[in-house]
Amino acid sequence: MSSIPNPDVGTLPPQAKRARAPRRLLPRPVENFLVEMGRFFQLLGRLFAWTPRPPYDFRELLRQMVRVGFDSIPVVFLTAMFTGMVMSLETFTTLRRFSAENYVGSLVALSMVRELSSVLTGLIVAGRAGSAMGAELGTMRVTEQIDALEVMATDPVHYLVVPRVWASTLMMPLLVIMADGVGIFGGYLVSVVLMGANPVSYMSITYQFMDVSDVTAGLIKAAVFGFLFSAVGCQQGFYTTGGAEGVGKATTSAVVLASIAIIIADFFLSRLLF
Amino acid sequence: MPDPRPAASASPQAKISLRGLHKSFGPKVVLDGLDLDIQEGESMVIIGGSGTGKSVLLKHVIGLLKPDAGTVLVDGVAIETLGNREITEFRRRFGMAFQEGALFDSMTVGENVAFPLKRLSKKSPAEIKERVEECLAMVHLEGVADRVPSQLSGGMRRRVGFARAIAQQPEILLFDEPTTGLDPITTAQINEVIKEINDQLKTTTVTITHDMESAYTTGDRIAMLYQGKIIADAPPEEFRHLADPRVQQFLHGRAHGPITDEDAGDTEGAGKRTAVNR
């Protein structure tokens, strides 16, 4: 986001006459940031305005749900599994010093459900699917496919952004439910098999301190993260300029900005939800 | 030198009428009070060097860009005043072929050509299929409907783009640099296809190009865009013999001449002039 890309034209005519640049009111980085934010909220506005309007493209929604959700299952599975395992390993050795190793199950489960599943899944899926959205829409922009949509009386936000954002928002909670289960299972494996904890008491302590609200809060976070990374990914792609290099930049900033947005949003959501 | 442009008073029947069009991107002035009339059924070719704003001009005609000042009249309707829904309705009457085809790479060729029909018409799937084949036949591409765009050559992709543009039977066809970057034989084939489309469909056509061969073969009238204005406008035979040194430099592809010299020396003055205008 170092420069302000102009969404209207790929290249500016070099022979065009130059007028004196208008005086700058704000330092360039501030101005760039504001332009970027303005575009983001403009896109959100169009997204919400177009969502309820027909025609509803359920096939495209389903296709995006498969790409964001189903195709992410392996990476999310591995991430959650090993996170649960390492949580268990670390807390077990630490808590043993206080003779509190009975509580490992509870600690692993609560950390996963309330925090780690949603944030890690969000970051991983942002890297997979959010970047893909940036790259795909970016390529469509620089090859004029987005203009072509508009010419054929199809709003590109309606056709491209709406299904992607809602597919991500819907699929993230499902991925996180899986991550919760897998993470807890990973923690169980390490404690019971590796550290020799009692399986029955481990499982009972896992659920003893957990509330339904812990789980739902994690799922709400997941939905918000899904919305965020897809909206950021689409926005970066949508306003791409400058050919292949521009698409690369859009892809990178889709991931970077989405990750930052997720981590910042996580703090405020935690404050709000717990 | 007599002004080759027609009198600025628009004949009321002009299909497309551009009036005093101004457009800047940031500090760069691209269109600077451009006037142009295109008659119904006419094939207008707009030429000009790379980066003179030909694409920008075309995007104004179809309402993808809005002018800073001036107006674009199509059948007397100013398109920059249209709302979202009206512009959708308005665009049904247009077909546009993009520079590299701009085919959707997630779809097959057939689905690409069918796209405007699915979105804009109430045709049944069988009718759509028939129309797709008709359009592909028109650009001499029978039997490629099931391939995906990445399997096609550049010339074929463009012809598929033409097929997609004509699918809806538009009143106005726009071609954005249809032959740029193609070999001479493919270029000739593309020109032939455009000419056939013009002759058979009798649509109003606007083509932008910097390829003179293409301009001569496909145009009823040629206009030259330079520094944000139309500096010459004539039928092909006349255009070839225009005395304007800028036109002659362009036609003969000379590295030195009024266009290049003016550009080097005049930047400062041009900037000042524009600053005053704004």
| Complex ipTM | 0.79
Query: Could you tell me which residues come within 8 angstroms of residue A266 by beta carbon, excluding any fewer than 6 positions away?
Result: A115, A118, A119, A122, A221, A225
Distance from CA of B184 to the nearest CA of A (A): 23
Show which of residues 213-232 on chain B sit within 8 Å of chain A, judged by CB atoms: 227-228
Chain A's closest residue to B90, CA to CA, is: A153
Whether the per-residue pLDDT at A139 is higher than 50: the answer is yes
CATH class of domain segment(s) B1-89+205-278: alpha beta
Closest CA to A137 of A251, A45, A242, A56: A251
DSSP element (H, E) containing A192: none
Chain B hits for A145, CB-CB cut-off 8 Å, are 102-105
Show which of residues 51-110 on chain B sit within 8 Å of chain A, judged by CB atoms: 51-53, 55-56, 59, 62, 64-65, 88-89, 91-92, 94, 96, 98-100, 102-105
- pLDDT tens digit sequence for A105-129: 899 999 999 999 999 999 999 999 9
Written as six digits, the tokens of B187 are 């270029």
Chain A's closest residue to B51, CA to CA, is: A13
Distance CA A267, CA A116 (A): 12
Query: Could you tell me which residues come within 8 angstroms of residue A56 by beta carbon, excluding any fewer than 6 positions away?
Result: none
Distance from CA of A46 to the nearest CA of B (A): 12
- pLDDT tens digit sequence for A95-104: 888 888 888 8
- pLDDT tens digit sequence for A27-49: 888 888 898 899 999 999 999 98
Only one residue has tokens 């899926």, namely A125
pLDDT at A209: 85
Query: Could you tell me which residues come within 8 angstroms of residue B184 by beta carbon, excluding any fewer than 6 positions away?
Result: none
Q: Note whether A144 contacts B100, CB cutoff 8 Å.
A: yes
Only one residue has tokens 């829409």, namely A137
Share of chain B above pLDDT 90, in %: 11
Query: Could you tell me which residues come within 8 angstroms of residue A249 by beta carbon, excluding any fewer than 6 positions away?
Result: A240, A242
pLDDT at A20: 54
Q: Note whether B28 contacts A151, CB cutoff 8 Å.
A: no
B43 touches B205 (CB < 8 A): yes
Only one residue has tokens 């390529």, namely A139
Tell me the mean pLDDT in the region B138-155.
87
Chain B hits for A144, CB-CB cut-off 8 Å, are 98-100, 102
SS3 content of chain A, % helix, strand, coil (to 5): 80, 0, 20
pTM of the model: 0.80
Distance from CA of B10 to the nearest CA of A (A): 26
Chain B hits for A8, CB-CB cut-off 8 Å, are 25, 59, 65
Distance from CA of B274 to the nearest CA of A (A): 6
Q: Which of A142-156, A212-226, B250-264 is least confident?
A: B250-264
Only one residue has tokens 């797709």, namely B132
Q: Note whether A13 contacts B28, CB cutoff 8 Å.
A: yes
Polymer length of chain B? 278
Tell me whether B160 touches chain A (CB under 8 Å).
no
Residue type, A112: M
pLDDT at A2: 43
DSSP three-state, residue A18: strand
Mutation for B interface: A3, A4, A17, A143, most B CBs within 10 A: A17
Q: Which residues is B23 bridged to in the sheet?
A: B31
DSSP three-state, residue A17: strand
- pLDDT tens digit sequence for B205-242: 999 988 888 888 888 999 998 888 888 888 988 888 88
Q: Is the dihedral of CA B221, B226, B231, B232 positive or negative?
A: negative
Cβ count near A271 (within 10 Å):
8
What is chain B written as a DSSP string? Answer: ----SPPSSPPTT-SEEEEEEEEEETTEEEEEEEEEEE-TT-EEEEE--TTSSHHHHHHHHTTSS--SEEEEEETTEEGGG--HHHHHHHHTTEEEE-TT----TTS-HHHHHHHHHHHH----HHHHHHHHHHHHHHTT-TT-TTS-GGGS-HHHHHHHHHHHHHTT--SEEEEESTTTT--HHHHHHHHHHHHHHHHHH--EEEEEES-HHHHHHH-SEEEEEETTEEEEEE-HHHHHT---HHHHHHHHT-SSSHHHHHHHH-HHHHHHHHHHH-
Whether the per-residue pLDDT at B271 is higher than 50: the answer is no
Residue type, B270: A
- pLDDT tens digit sequence for A246-269: 999 999 999 999 999 999 999 999
Whether the per-residue pLDDT at A137 is higher than 90: the answer is yes
